[in-house]
């Protein structure tokens, strides 16, 4: 099922995952495709908040998930796709029994995450940017950057249920 709304696409896909504590758990994958525009970052962050809430995360985790998605999508729009509206950003939320996994893909040239300066080093403390990856790593349990074989970068972030 796909839902088109104001220039972006949301796709809901459901699959059975199994049982937990005698409650039937249905895994859900929600996909969002947005143009590379700054104003679309809020939409992705709002959807992250909605999904994290529906998944039963506490308020602190929801805040962290929303912030991590905001930063990942911002990086995809600004640094990955260079705000080229002909390129999209794909965001996927996969709710499994024990975790929420979020992937954000851009269609840019890609980058080396190790080349990004550490924002906690003294010489970087007063710089106005460069903290997005730090926030993602801080608020999520696992963050992995990968180059897509067809181009672009994928960031995969996982938040486990406590």
Q: Kindly list the structural domains of the chain, giving each domain's residue range(s) and its CATH number in brackets, ordered by start.
A: 2-160 (3.30.565.10)
pLDDT at 3 over 80: no
What pLDDT sits at residue 112? 77
Of residues 153 and 19, more confidently modeled: 153
Give whole-number Cα distances, 139 to 1, 93, 120, in Å.
Answer: 31, 16, 16
What pLDDT sits at residue 118? 87
pLDDT in tens, 113-131: 888 888 888 998 888 778 8
What pLDDT sits at residue 12? 47
In DSSP terms, 89 is beta-bridged to 34
User: pTM for the whole thing?
Assistant: 0.82
Element (H, E) at 16: strand 8-20
pLDDT in tens, 14-51: 444 443 332 233 468 889 999 999 999 999 999 999 99
Strand pairing report for 88-95 and 153-160: unpaired
Distance from C-alpha of 131 to C-alpha of 150, rounded to nearest angstrom: 27
């Amino acid at each position: 099922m796909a839902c088109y709304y104001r220039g972006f696409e949301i796709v809901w896909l459901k699959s059975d995952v199994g049982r937990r504590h005698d409650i039937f758990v249905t895994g859900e994958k929600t996909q969002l495709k947005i143009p590379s525009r700054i104003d679309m970052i809020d939409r992705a962050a709002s959807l992250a908040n909605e999904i994290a809430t529906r998944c039963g995360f506490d308020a602190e985790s929801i805040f962290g998930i929303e912030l991590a998605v905001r930063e990942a999508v911002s990086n995809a729009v600004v640094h990955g796709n260079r705000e080229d509206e002909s390129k999209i950003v794909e965001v996927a939320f996969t709710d499994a029994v024990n975790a929420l996994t979020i992937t954000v893909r851009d269609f840019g040239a890609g980058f080396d995450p190790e080349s990004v300066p550490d924002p906690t080093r003294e010489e970087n403390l007063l710089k106005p940017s460069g903290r997005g990856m730090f926030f993602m790593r801080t608020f999520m349990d696992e963050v992995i950057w990968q180059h897509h074989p067809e181009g672009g970068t994928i960031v995969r972030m996982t938040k486990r249920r406590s």
